[in-house]
Amino acid sequence: MTAVTGADAHADMGSPTAESGRFLDILQQTITMTSRVLDHQEVMETVVRELPELLNTDACTIRLLDESTQSFVLAAAHGVSMEYLSRENIDTEQTMQMIQAGYPVHTGQADDDTLLPLHDAARHEGINSVLSLPILFQGQVIGVMRLLNKNAARTFTKEEISCSMALAMQVGIAIAHGRMFEKQQSQLKFLRELQAFSRLVNSSLNLDDTLGTMARRAVESLHVKGCTLRLLDPSTKHLYLAASHGLSQAYLHRGEVESERGIQLVLAGEPVSIYDASHDGRVDYAKQMQDEGIVSLLAVPLRVQGEIIGVMRVLSGTPRIFTDAEIRFASTLAEVGGTAIHNARNYQKISKLLIRIEGHEKFLATIIDSLQHQLLVFNQDRRVVLANKQYLKAMNRPEAEVIGLHYDELCREERFCPVNHVFAGQDMQTLARELHEGDDGKWLERSAAPIFGDDGSIEYVIEIIRDVTSERKLAAAEVEQARLSGIVEMAGTVAHEINSPLFAALGTAELLVEDEGATAMAEELQVVIRNLQRISELTKKMTSMTGFERKQYVGESTVLSLDDGAD
Amino acid sequence: MAEILTLDDVEDASILVGKILKKKGHTVYTFTDEDDAIAHVRKQPVDLAILDIKLKRMSGIEVLALMKEINPAMRAIMLTGYPTMETAREAMGLGADEYCVKPIDRAELEEKVEKVLALAKTDKVN
């Protein structure tokens, strides 16, 4: 193995001018080649395929540095077998360290040097020498490009090595650009997916629809087998399966998952990516996952304004390492979805509340319309905001005509309009007045009561209009009855008081007539007796009377008719 | 002939009843005061008491109840200026045998007195 600067390499490429021209030509072709494609994988495939011919070598490989393991992973190869590529060690530790330090390394007699870890593979493949070139981008080693020679006579001049380094650097730039392009493409794709996802999950306020859409769209966006959405029950704080896509019922009902380490980590706010679900301590149902065909999974928290409301798990049927970008994308989906869930839940709550309010309103309206009295509600402008059926029926007007009318249009006599009195600051007012419709008198009672707002001012006034004609008539009849009873009692009392002296006078006169016999005095006494008997008949009528009738006397005076009133 | 007591707050009425019944040959004691009438019943036997329901201090019904305690065999006719069924029923329930409504008809009075005294005679025979 030799770390080379080119000075110690054997020159067999012709004159320096001709060689420089050829290198420029190779460099130009390489730049042209790498500029044709944007996909960094395609760049690498093109380079390994075409560079050996340009540099007169037998094979080329490119390995990229995996930053997580600090190891070089095969990315593209041409001219060598899979068996060779699958060897355990790429090269000696020293060579790899030199490459990581940014130096090209030439390894000669790879097939003869038994101390080299790649000796057996190189011998088997017929590889004699290897030129390893670090792939640099902005001063950082991002990979290694190796040019392999089967011809022992093939050596590299200083110019060739410099040219190869320049080529490797160009490859590094192309790879980096490809990666950046891919990253941008990926970000653009994620943004588009996110936009579509957001539009879809926010297109409905139905919670079940939103959850179903989220699960389906997450599967489509992340190209996975299935997805589950588990939400924390707001009251019990336990997870429940809210939606899924692409998974069997047997898998979904495999058992309680809340205690799984993976789920617990997610509920603590940490995304969990599992490469091999069948052998991972963070998974409790490894066998069921295997049976379902799930290999890898990614779980992220569903959040609303920083609060975790559940877990979204996307499940891959193929081995998959979820990239940072994918994890971020899934987390963003979960946040967008969380907000959509929150909105749908709020909508659900509001809908239920509205249904309850509507129910109460309907109930209240039924009560108001069932009232036998007329009811009106006035706002601060004294305009009608509510009129019940009884009022509309009494007025024979449709509701639309009454709503908005000013109180002055409905109640014209100020002293009988209690709503105005209440708005003027008085307490509940009840006023009654007699109306005349045809020959019949009709009594209406208007009562008004205030409804106060939060600030203590009158917000509305309720007016109830009652037809109190029957009550009034009954009260008048009761008064008349009381007067009648008084008169009847008075008549009875007077008659009773008269009866005893009348009896004494009449009886005495009769005895006198008996004693006188047929004299002129007896005849005069008969006149007295006749008139006393007439009085006696009147007192009998008076004591037995239960009612009476008035009759006209003189002018406006009236007297009672005993003849008609006594039973 | 019978021993008869009359009680009426109107003196002339009481005297008149006495005159009517004396003409029929009865011995009549006339009173206007409740206590005097009760004292008389306590003092000597009376066959018939004619009592006005409305008196000065007591009611005729109360006086009748007291007299009946003294002399359960005594017969009674109540005089009422107010012919209600309640007062009549109450008087009859307390042992009155008849009642007359004021102003009293002389013939009716005489007839009812004879009728009640006849009942008293029947009681004595039995």
ipTM for the predicted complex = 0.80
Domains A202-349 and A371-467 share a fold: yes
CA distance B4 to chain A (A): 18
Domain range list for chain A:
2-183, 202-349, 371-467, 473-565
pLDDT at A5: 41
How would residue A565 be classed by pLDDT, with cut points 50, 70 and 90?
A: very low
A101-105, A525-529, A537-541: least confident range: A537-541
- Decide which of A250 and A558 is more confident: A250
Is 90 exceeded by the pLDDT of residue A251? Answer: yes
CATH number for the domain formed by residue range(s) A2-183: 3.30.450.40
User: pLDDT per residue over B34-43, tens digit each?
Assistant: 999 999 999 9
**Sheet of A296-304, strand order:** A239-245, A226-232, A307-316, A296-304, A272-274
Q: Calculate mean pLDDT across residues A514-538.
A: 88
Low-confidence ranges of chain B (pLDDT < 70): 82-88, 124-126
Q: Calculate mean pLDDT across residues A440-469.
A: 88
Asked whether the beta carbons of residue B12 and residue A539 sit closer than 8 angstroms, the reply is no
At A81, the amino acid letter reads S
Q: Are A384 and A376 in contact (CB under 8 A)?
A: yes
> What is the signed CA dihedral for A397, A401, A405, A407, rounded to 10 degrees?
10
Q: Calculate mean pLDDT across residues A519-524.
A: 87
How would residue A550 be classed by pLDDT, with cut points 50, 70 and 90?
A: low
Mean pLDDT score across all residues of chain A: 84
* CATH class as words, domain A202-349: alpha beta
A543 touches chain B (CB under 8 A): yes
How would residue A405 be classed by pLDDT, with cut points 50, 70 and 90?
A: very high
Q: Best interface-test mutation with A: which of B77, B82, B109 has the largest number of A CBs within 10 A? A: B82
pLDDT at A62: 93
Comparing CB atoms, the residue among A500, A505, A510 nearest residue B102 is A500
Q: How many CA atoms lie within 13 A of A332 on its CB side?
A: 18
Asked whether the beta carbons of residue B8 and residue A500 sit closer than 8 angstroms, the reply is yes
pLDDT at A76: 92
Q: Identify the H or E element spanning A457.
A: none
* CATH class as words, domain A371-467: alpha beta
A504 touches chain B (CB under 8 A): yes
Interface contacts (A, B; CB < 8 Å): 59
Q: Which domains does chain B have, with CATH numbers?
A: 3-121 (3.40.50.2300)
DSSP for A103-154, please give it.
Answer: --EEE--TTT-TTSTTHHHHHHHT--EEEEEEEEETTEEEEEEEEEE--TT-
CA distance B57 to chain A (A): 16
Is 70 exceeded by the pLDDT of residue A260? Answer: yes
From CA A195, how far away is CA A209, in angstroms rounded?
Answer: 18
B22: nearest CA partner in chain A: A511
Q: Calculate mean pLDDT across residues A168-181.
A: 83
From CA A157, how far away is CA A442, in angstroms rounded?
Answer: 127
pLDDT at A9: 38
Q: Calculate mean pLDDT across residues A41-48.
A: 83
